[in-house]
């Protein structure tokens, strides 16, 4: 008895161990005092036994696969819900059960102890699996082996831990030999188990095992693990156990229940390992969700050449093409494919290797896709010609594939247009329009011999930067703002922190479903994988190009094209994406336009930006900043003269010189915003000068250095005098808090000539364009108004100019007059301001600054990002988060949002015709767009590249909020 059920720890008695890991044994023992252990082991535990265990617990912690379904992702995790759904659909899934995410959370709440009743339910469920498989856990005859798999609500590929072949020990391995007649297989399974269990559960260093394994391969004169003879494997197992014992300080657990207990604990713990936390932080996944644990009977892909294991997508995750896409390895187990240890075969080859299996797999793939109405990512294993499904989940895909799959599925009648709009990923829409490598530059680079190699096009996009060969270094450099491309032999979950900051990823080994590829696609990072033309030396921090002398070292420039798999030395120039050619995206956005209420305008300062915005679908310019026009080289000296003018005449003279420049700028913008076919123009909101004037002057500090230098050298007296004068003038304009200083409408009130010149330029430009028969709608916007009197006075100035122009040109120009709402006082007194304005535009950047009292220029660098990332406090586990998100990126609904809502309500009440928009950076942020939709703004205005995102986000807001109201 003691032999069959050995104690886990030397000091603890056998009975104690049994009771710890098998309390139901003890309960049954008490009931059947006369029964032997063998009797008890053969007790039939049925479904009612599980029900009983549940009744005796505060909650149901364990669900058989047959008890779950796809809707239970919160409770069972994605993997658990997926296998449950497949089980119930009658697909071949090895039997098993899921321990809930609630159990994981209860485990943490109880100070890392299993919640009451969970272990009993686990054992009852395990009994049922024994019945279903006809095998016995820990039994020498026909032993049941299981996998213990993590699985959270949202897939976190490779982030948490899975143990395979659990239930193997010196006894059961003999049963496995007897059953299969394959000693090599049985001991290979055993050594894999020890290796995996040690790494994941006992937390030992995997390197020691790999070294010994390599040593055995060398000794046996073979290349792969699969070729090591059985006799050698037996010795290897003994040695592996010794390593595990030496490293962990306790005997390797031979009690299968103890193995199970520890493995479940390890999966719970893996929820809070560093890489999982990093991944969740980056992907904004809630840390409180917890992971489920799936315990599933094992099937074996390593039982010969009629066995194998693989992963496949129902469509190409890079392009979206409708065809099976994936890889498999014959005679291999579990993670061999994903780990990139051997380079696997393309899934289409399975047609030749195992034609019947391929056909069945194809049918299942199709069925699952129809069932889930989404592209699926599948894991399967073939045991002696029989196919088993191990996982299904919606597949991660590139931006291009993401959009194409949706549009195709609408055409196939699988989903509706509305659903496609709701499901589309705003981040992917943004990525799709990002720059790509210039084809000519690529050709040039190739002709110069800079095309080094070609790997798999694992995740599209263009990335250039400094090559870096380890994740820590990449993190360091990336955080310092240096663009890096992470180059690795292959990646593992330990590299994720480096991948997060990299521009792109290059690996020498591993397929299109390797860790690097999957993570990169999820992050939207360009990735070239399995680039066998390079040999990476981690130790030397370089790679060599096969068949040439070329060596690329750490810090050298490198460019990778994730869409083609090409790897270049040096930097390659990028070009704009061609929106006109993105037919699928255009179709999707066309559907979005039918559902949105919000208008989408763009912020554009130059005709070029305005034109791009129109191509991307902008319906107006919500913010044209006039100060950028002042910064241009030929104008800046005139602007400086204007600022430093000693008299009004001097200032006027400079302004007179600026007028024609401004007029032609505005004309350009107006013309860009006229539809050439209809002559109809979109609205253009032009904001009068906003920033503090010293932004146009040389820096005070630099001038000070110059003056000091000239003083000590005593060389150029004339220059010194000039610089001193300038230093004085610039000094006199310095402010302690320029963001709260002489800027915005305050400038035009103190120097009315500036407002007059700008208004004249705008209206004259408008008249000129109107004379060409084009209909244009200029709107003049006043920044930083806090008191209605400021706006009243500016309005008076403007009306006077308009009158002048009308009488000069004998033509009237229609324009609208409005203000930004970007100070809390303006929002609070919106009812007083609204009668003086025809429109409001919320300047949410300044409004966020002034509501929080954060200076944006300093806050992000000094403390804000730490507020969002979390602070480390002594004595507190984890990080203390002060803010959920950066309020400059996503509008703070509770604070800033309340001011917006108030201004909307008060403003509309006082002036029913008031037009309302927003032109801060939040106009392109999907979450903020939803808020703007809800408070009833008329339009959002964002940077041209974000216009497609805003169109989609506005439609999603309309669709989801109308659903919520139902």
| Neighbour tally for 251: CB within 10 Å | 14
Instruction: Match 């609070």 to its residue by tokens.
Output: 828
- Beta carbon of residue 296, minimum distance to ligand ADP (angstroms, whole number): 4
Q: Check if 515 is active-site.
A: yes
**Binding region for ligand ADP (CB under 6 A) out of 82-90, 203-211, 293-301, 601-609:** 293-301
Find the shortest distance in angstroms from Cβ 239 to ligand ADP. 24
Q: Which is nearer to ligand ADP, 273 or 574 (CB)?
A: 273
Q: Quote the tokens at residue 235.
A: 């010795």
Kindly tell me the burial class for residue 708, based on how many C-beta atoms sit within 10 Å of its own C-beta (0-12, 13-18, 19 or more): exposed
Number of residues that bind Mg ion (CB under 5 A): 5
d(CA 423, CA 643): 52
Q: How crowded is residue 449: how many other Cβ atoms within 10 Å of its Cβ?
A: 10
Residue 422's binding partner out of Mg ion, ligand ADP, none, with CB under 5 to 8 Å set by partner kind: none
Q: Which is nearer to Mg ion, 383 or 846 (CB)?
A: 846
Indicate the residue among 376 and 391 with the shorter CB distance to ligand ADP.
Answer: 391
| Residue position matching structure tokens 């996982």 | 391
Toward Mg ion, which CB reaches closer, 193 or 670? 193
Helices 206-220 and 230-248 pack at an angle, to 10 degrees, of 160
By CB under 6 A, what part of segment 431-490 binds ligand ADP?
A: none
Q: Which of 170, 232, 335, 353 binds ligand ADP (CB under 6 A)?
A: 335
- CA–CA distance, 473 with 498 (Å, rounded to integer): 8
Q: How far is the CB of 153 from ligand ADP (least distance, A)?
A: 13
Q: Based on CB atoms, which residue is closest to Mg ion, 17 or 155?
A: 155
965 exposure class (CB count in 10 Å sphere: 0-12, 13-18, 19+): exposed
23-31 and 118-133 helices, crossing angle to 10°: 80
Q: Please give the C-alpha separations between residue 636 and each of 435, 467, 698, 928, in angstroms, as whole numbers.
A: 31, 40, 10, 36
Q: Does 162 contact ligand ADP by CB under 6 A?
A: yes
Least gap, CB of 337 to ligand ADP (angstroms): 7
Site track for ligand ADP across 39-78, x = CB under 6 A: ----------------------------------------
Which among 171-179, 351-359, 641-649, 835-843 is the span making contact with Mg ion, rule CB under 5 A?
A: 835-843
Of 527, 624, 919, 942, the active-site residue reads 919
Residue 846, binding choice from ligand ADP, Mg ion, none, Cβ under 5 to 8 Å by partner class: Mg ion
For residue 311, the cross-strand partners are: 327, 379
For residue 296, state whether it binds ligand ADP (rule: CB under 6 A). yes
Query: Which of residues 162 and 841 has its CB atom nearest to ligand ADP in the complex?
Result: 162
C-alpha torsion angle, residues 355, 357, 360, 361 (rounded to 10): -110
Residue placing its CB nearer to ligand ADP in the complex, 394 or 889: 394
* Cα separation, 208 vs 190, whole angstroms: 17
| Under rule CB under 5 A, residue 846 binds Mg ion | yes
Nearer to Mg ion, 232 or 335 (CB): 335
Interacting residues with ligand ADP between 86 and 105 (CB under 6 A)? 94
Show contacts with ligand ADP in window 387-426 (CB under 6 A).
390-391
Closest CB 921 distance from Mg ion, rounded Å = 11
Q: Least distance in Å: CB of 502 to ligand ADP?
A: 22
HSE (side-chain half, CA atoms, 13 Å) at 940: 36
What is the spatial distance between Cα 505 and Cα 517, in angstroms, rounded to a whole number?
A: 9
Beta carbons of 302 and 333 less than 8 angstroms apart: yes
Spatial CA neighbour of 22 closest among 137, 176, 144: 137
Q: Which two tokens stand for residue 494?
A: 């330990």
CB of 127 to ligand ADP, least distance (A): 18
Which one of 609-617, 621-629, 632-640, 836-844 is the stretch in contact with Mg ion (CB under 5 A)? 836-844
Q: How far is the CB of 224 from ligand ADP (least distance, A)?
A: 18
Catalytic residue among 497, 515, 595, 922: 515
CB 446 within 8 A of CB 569: no
Question: Are residues 526 and 463 in contact, defined by beta-carbon separation less than 8 angstroms?
Answer: yes
Beta-carbon contacts of 393 under 8 Å, excluding residues fewer than 6 positions away, are 78, 79, 82, 155, 376, 377
For Mg ion, what does the binding mask look like between residues 368 and 407, x meaning CB under 5 A?
-----------x-----------x----------------
Classify burial at 901, counting beta carbons within 10 Å of its beta carbon; exposed 0-12, middle 13-18, buried 19 or more.
Answer: middle
3-state secondary structure of 437: strand
Token pair recorded at residue 942 = 């964002």
Near ligand ADP by CB under 6 A: residue from 158, 253, 562, 944: 158
* 296 vs 841 by CB, closer to ligand ADP: 296
Residue 61 CB burial class (10 angstroms; 0-12, 13-18, ≥19) = buried
> Closest approach of Cβ 266 to ligand ADP, in Å?
13
Q: What is the DSSP string of 32-80?
A: TTT--HHHHHT----HHHHHHHHHTSSS--EEEGGG--GGGHHHHHHHH
Q: Output phi, psi for 305, to 5 deg.
A: -85, 0
334 contact choice in ligand ADP, Mg ion, none (CB below 5 to 8 Å, kind-dependent): ligand ADP
Supply the DSSP symbol for 860. I
| Least distance in angstroms from the C-beta of 77 to ligand ADP | 10
How far separated are the first and last CA of the chain, in Å rounded?
64
- Using CB under 6 A, count the residues that bind ligand ADP: 16
User: Binds 843, which of ligand ADP, Mg ion, none (CB < 5 to 8 A, cut-off by type)?
Assistant: Mg ion
- Nearer to ligand ADP by Cβ, of 216 and 300: the residue is 300
Which CB, 149 or 922, lies closer to ligand ADP?
A: 149
Instruction: List, in sequence order, every residue forming a beta bridge with 378; answer none if it has no partner.
Output: 312, 392
Strand-pair partners of 456: 529
| 3-state SS, residue 576 | coil
- Which one, 206 or 835, has the nearer CB to ligand ADP? 206
Based on the shown chain and the rule CB under 6 A, indicate whether residue 147 belongs to the binding site for ligand ADP.
Answer: yes
Residue 299 is a binding residue for ligand ADP (CB under 6 A): yes
- Residue 147 contact among Mg ion, ligand ADP, none, beta carbon within 5 to 8 Å by kind: ligand ADP
CB closer to ligand ADP, 96 vs 478: 96
CA–CA distances in Å: residue 762 to residues 631, 769, 846 = 18, 11, 25
Q: Does 514 bind ligand ADP (CB under 6 A)?
A: no
Contacting range for ligand ADP; rule: CB under 6 A; set: 61-69, 296-304, 663-671, 711-719: 296-304
Subset of residues 795 to 834 that bind Mg ion, contact rule: CB under 5 A: 822
State the binding string over 250-289 for ligand ADP (x if CB under 6 A, else -).
----------------------------------------
- Element holding 938 (H helix, E strand): none
As a whole number of angstroms, the distance between CA 139 and CA 146 comes to: 13
Q: Do 214 and 222 touch, CB atoms closer than 8 A?
A: no
Considering only residues 355 to 384 of the shown chain, the ones binding ligand ADP according to CB under 6 A are: 379, 381
26 is annotated as an active-site residue: no
Cα angle, residue 98 at apex, residues 97 and 104 outer, rounded to 5°: 150
Which residues on neighbouring strands pair with residue 291, listed in sequence order?
152
Q: Which does 381 bind (CB under 5 to 8 A by kind): Mg ion, ligand ADP, none?
A: ligand ADP
Task: Work out which of 68, 318, 334, 465 binds ligand ADP, going by CB under 6 A.
Answer: 334
Within 10 A of 801 (CB to CB), how many other CB atoms are there?
19
Catalytic residues: 515, 919
Contact positions toward Mg ion, by CB under 5 A? Answer: 379, 391, 822, 843, 846
Q: Which residues bind ligand ADP (CB under 6 A)?
A: 94, 147, 149, 158, 162, 164, 296, 298-299, 309, 334-335, 379, 381, 390-391
């Amino acid at each position: 008895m003691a032999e069959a059920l050995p104690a886990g720890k030397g000091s603890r008695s056998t009975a104690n161990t049994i009771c710890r890991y098998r309390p139901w044994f003890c309960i049954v023992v008490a009931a059947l005092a006369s029964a032997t252990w063998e009797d008890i082991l053969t007790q039939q535990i049925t479904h009612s036994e599980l029900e009983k265990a549940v009744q005796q617990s505060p909650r149901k912690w364990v669900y058989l696969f047959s008890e779950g379904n796809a809707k239970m992702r919160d409770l069972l995790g994605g993997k658990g819900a997926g296998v449950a759904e497949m089980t119930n659909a009658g697909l071949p899934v090895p039997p098993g059960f899921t321990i809930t995410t609630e159990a994981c959370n209860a485990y943490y709440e109880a100070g890392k102890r299993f919640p009451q009743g969970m272990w009993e339910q686990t054992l009852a469920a395990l009994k049922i699996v024994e019945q279903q498989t006809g095998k016995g856990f820990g039994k020498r005859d026909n032993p049941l082996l299981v996998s213990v798999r993590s699985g959270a609500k949202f897939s976190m590929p490779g982030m948490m831990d899975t143990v395979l072949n659990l239930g193997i020990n010196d006894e059961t391995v003999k049963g496995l030999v007897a059953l299969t007649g394959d000693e090599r297989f049985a001991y290979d399974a055993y050594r894999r188990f020890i290796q995996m269990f040690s790494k994941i559960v006992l937390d030992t260093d995997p390197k020691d095992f790999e070294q010994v394994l390599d040593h055995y391969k060398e000794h046996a004169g073979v290349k792969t693990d699969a070729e090591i003879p059985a006799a050698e494997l037996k010795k290897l197992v003994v040695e592996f156990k010794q390593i595990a014992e030496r490293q962990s300080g306790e005997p390797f657990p031979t009690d299968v229940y103890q193995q199970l207990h520890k493995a479940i604990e390890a999966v719970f713990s893996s929820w809070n390992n560093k890489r999982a936390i990093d991944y969740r932080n980056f992907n904004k996944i809630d840390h409180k969700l917890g992971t489920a644990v799936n315990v599933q009977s094992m099937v074996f892909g390593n039982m010969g050449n009629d066995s194998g294991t693989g992963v496949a997508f129902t469509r190409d995750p890079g392009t979206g093409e409708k065809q099976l896409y994936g890889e498999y390895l014959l005679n291999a187990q579990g993670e061999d494919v994903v780990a990139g240890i051997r380079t696997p075969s393309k899934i289409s080859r399975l047609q030749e290797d195992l034609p019947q299996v391929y056909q069945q797999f194809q049918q299942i793939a199709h069925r699952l896709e129809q069932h889930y109405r989404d592209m699926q990512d599948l894991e399967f294993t073939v045991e002696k010609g029989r196919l088993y499904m191990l996982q299904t989940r919606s597949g991660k895909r590139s931006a291009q594939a993401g959009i194409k799959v949706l549009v195709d599925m609408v055409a196939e009648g699988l989903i509706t247009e509305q659903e496609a709009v709701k499901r589309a990923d705003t981040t992917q829409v943004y990525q799709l329009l990002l720059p790509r490598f210039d084809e000519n530059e690529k050709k040039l680079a190739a002709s110069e011999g800079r095309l080094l190699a070609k790997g798999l096009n694992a995740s599209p996009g263009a990335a250039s930067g400094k090559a870096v060969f380890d994740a820590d270094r990449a993190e360091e450099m990336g955080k310092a703002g240096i663009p890096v491309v992470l180059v690795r032999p292959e990646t593992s979950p330990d590299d994720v922190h480096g991948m997060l900051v990299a521009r792109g990823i290059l690996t020498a080994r591993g397929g299109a479903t390797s860790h690097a590829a999957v993570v990169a696609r999820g992050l939207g990072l360009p990735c070239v994988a399995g680039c066998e033309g390079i040999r990476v030396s981690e130790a030397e921090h370089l790679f060599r190009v096969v068949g040439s002398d070329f060596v690329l070292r750490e810090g050298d420039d490198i460019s990778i094209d994730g869409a083609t798999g090409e790897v270049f030395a040096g930097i390659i120039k990028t070009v704009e994406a061609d929106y006109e050619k993105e037919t699928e995206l255009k179709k999707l956005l066309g559907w979005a336009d039918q559902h949105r209420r919000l208008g989408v305008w763009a912020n554009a300062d130059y005709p070029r930006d305005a034109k791009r915005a129109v191509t991307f679908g902008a319906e107006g310019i919500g913010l044209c900043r006039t100060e950028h026009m002042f910064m241009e080289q030929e104008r800046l000296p005139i602007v400086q003269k204007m600022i430093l003018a000693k008299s009004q005449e001097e200032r006027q003279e400079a302004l007179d010189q600026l007028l024609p420049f401004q007029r032609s700028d505005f004309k350009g913008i107006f013309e860009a915003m006229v539809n050439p076919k209809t002559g109809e123009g979109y609205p253009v909101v032009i904001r009068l000068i906003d920033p503090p004037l010293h932004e146009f002057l040389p820096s005070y500090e630099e001038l000070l250095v110059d003056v000091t230098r000239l003083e000590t050298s005593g060389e150029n007296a004339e220059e010194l005098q000039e610089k001193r004068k300038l230093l004085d003038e610039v000094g006199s304009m310095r402010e302690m808090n320029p963001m709260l200083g002489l800027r915005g409408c305050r400038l035009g009130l103190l120097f009315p000539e500036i407002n007059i010149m700008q208004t004249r330029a705008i209206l004259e430009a408008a008249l000129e364009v109107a004379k060409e028969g084009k209909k244009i709608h200029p709107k003049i916007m006043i920044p930083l108004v806090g008191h209605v009197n400021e706006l009243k006075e500016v309005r008076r100035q403007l009306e006077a100019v308009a009158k002048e122009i009308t009488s000069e040109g004998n033509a009237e120009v229609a324009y609208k007059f409005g203000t930004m709402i970007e100070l809390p006082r303006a929002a609070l007194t919106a009812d007083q301001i609204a009668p003086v304005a025809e429109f409001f535009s919320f300047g949410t950047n300044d409004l966020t600054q002034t509501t929080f009292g954060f200076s944006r220029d300093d806050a992000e660098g000094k403390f804000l990002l730490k507020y969002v990332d979390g602070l480390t406090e002594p004595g507190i586990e984890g990080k203390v988060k002060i803010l959920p998100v950066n309020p400059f990126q996503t509008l703070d609904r509770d604070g800033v949002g309340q001011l917006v809502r108030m201004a909307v309500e008060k403003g509309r009440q006082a002036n029913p015709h008031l037009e309302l928009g927003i032109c801060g950076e939040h106009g392109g942020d999907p979450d903020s767009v939803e808020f703007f939709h809800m408070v009833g703004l008329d339009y959002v205005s964002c940077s041209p590249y974000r216009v497609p995102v805003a169109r989609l986000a506005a439609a999603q807001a309309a669709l989801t909020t109308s659903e919520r109201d139902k």
